[in-house]
Structure 1
Amino acid sequence: MAVTPPVCDFGAPWHDFSLPGTDGRMHDLQDIKGPNGTLVMFICNHCPYVQAVMDRIVRDARDLQAKGVGVVAISANDVQDYPQDGPEQMAAEAARHGFTFPYLYDESQSVARAYGAECTPDFFGYNADGELQYRGRLDASRRTAGPVDARRDLYEAMVLIAETGRGPEDQVPSMGCSIKWKTA
């Protein structure tokens, strides 16, 4: 079932973390943040919404990194019920798509809960001061990729944030599969 997260809570602070990456190293927010902003993405391997735009996510991340924006992807799904989202599969996914950013595993799901992540993909764009300025979609894609020339909502918002410190007032929420929370 598709989930749509809430609109951007402008100015909300980011949440520090230290999580293992597919590269076998621990990564924390201080190492990832960029001088012009930071993009924190919640994604996973199995979600058709993510898979439909994975190449666009990688493209936009690479282009944003060139503009001084730090980028990280985090998977928080319950791997007991969704083993395809486990760390070994994450490493294969990162290699297959040529990730230029860390892909981290939030086994406890505490980071996803701190951020208020609700779906995959869920994008959180922060300015250089760690204030939330964007919580919207990548582009007009849904379960299938949108037109090749679709407006790059996320990319354009993050460039604006990098240049001005402020995100666009009008944002269209992302849509995707719900985070697969562990049962108590």
Structure 2
Amino acid sequence: MLLDTPICDFGWIAPDFTLSDPHGIPFTLSEQLGCKGLLVIFLCNHCPYVQRIASRLAQDAHQLMGEGISVVAVMSNDYREYPEDAPDRMVAFARQHDFPFLYLVDEDQSVGKAFGAVCTPDFFGFNARGELQYRGRLDDACQGGEAERTPELLNAMRMIAETGRGPREQHPSMGCSIKWRT
């Protein structure tokens, strides 16, 4: 089911969490929150929207991380019902697309629910104080096109790193609904 993300709730404080990577190594949000902010991305492997943007996302994440902005991805889908999203497949997907960021498993889906994540991809850009400043899309490229794109997420995270505030005009991300357990 195609969904759009809600409007950014400026100033919302990110709840801390502890999630493990596919190898079982735990990480906390507070450890990832850097002095230039943090981008939390809700992803999964099987979503065609994620697949279409994966190379552009990796490119933008490499740039952000090179500029000192932290990036982490979370996979909240029920991978028992969607085995393409299982932890071993997350490793392969991240390698295939050259993801430079942590790709963490939200086993009990509590982090996705606490964040109010609705789709993949769903982007949450926080300033250094952990306040939400961006809940928009990756860019304005249509259906995976890369020519002449405006990298809205990249630009927003750079603004957040510099000023602590995100752009007031944001366009929602859209993608497949998160696959919640029933």
- Please tell me the TM-score bracket, short chain as reference: over 0.9
For 1:4-55, what per-residue CA distance to the aligned partner results, in whole angstroms no more than 9, with x for missing partners?
Answer: 0111000000111111113541111122122100000000000000000101
Between the aligned partners of 2:43 and 2:147, the Cα distance in structure 1 is 21
Residue in structure 1 matched with residue 63 of structure 2 by the alignment: 63
For 1:32 and 1:119, how far apart are their aligned partners in 2?
22
2:17/2:28 contact within 8 Å kept: yes
In structure 1, stretches of 5+ residues that fail to align are none
Deviates more, 1:17-26 or 1:107-116: 17-26
Q: Does 1:149 align with 2:145?
A: no
Alpha-carbon contact 2:12-2:131 (below 8 Å) kept? yes
RMSD: 1.1
Query: 1:92-171 alignment to 2 at 5 Å?
Result: 92-141=92-141, 144-171=143-170
Question: Using the alignment, how far apart are the partners of 1:134 and 1:14 within structure 2?
Answer: 12
SS in 1 for 2:114: helix
**CA offsets per residue over residues 120-139 of structure 1, 9 Å max, x none?**
00000000010000000001
- The equivalent residue for 1:178 is 177
Could you tell me the TM-score, scaled by structure 1's length? 0.95
Structure 1 residues 181 and 25: alpha-carbon distance in aligned structure 2, compared to 1, 3 A threshold: same
Distance in 2 (alpha carbons) for counterparts of 1:65 and 1:134: 17
Contact 2:36/2:128, CA 8 A, preserved across alignment: yes
Q: Secondary structure at the match of 2:39?
A: strand
User: Could you say if the C-alpha distance between residues 112 and 50 of structure 1 is closer, same or farther in structure 2, counting changes exceeding 3 Å?
Assistant: same
Identity across the alignment (%): 53
Q: Aligned partners of 1:96 and 1:41: how far apart in 2?
A: 18
The total of aligned residue pairs comes to 182
SS at match of 1:60: helix
Query: Tell me, what secondary structure is at the counterpart of 2:176?
Result: strand
> Secondary structure of the equivalent of 1:161?
helix
Q: Distance in 1 between matches of 2:111 and 2:141?
A: 26
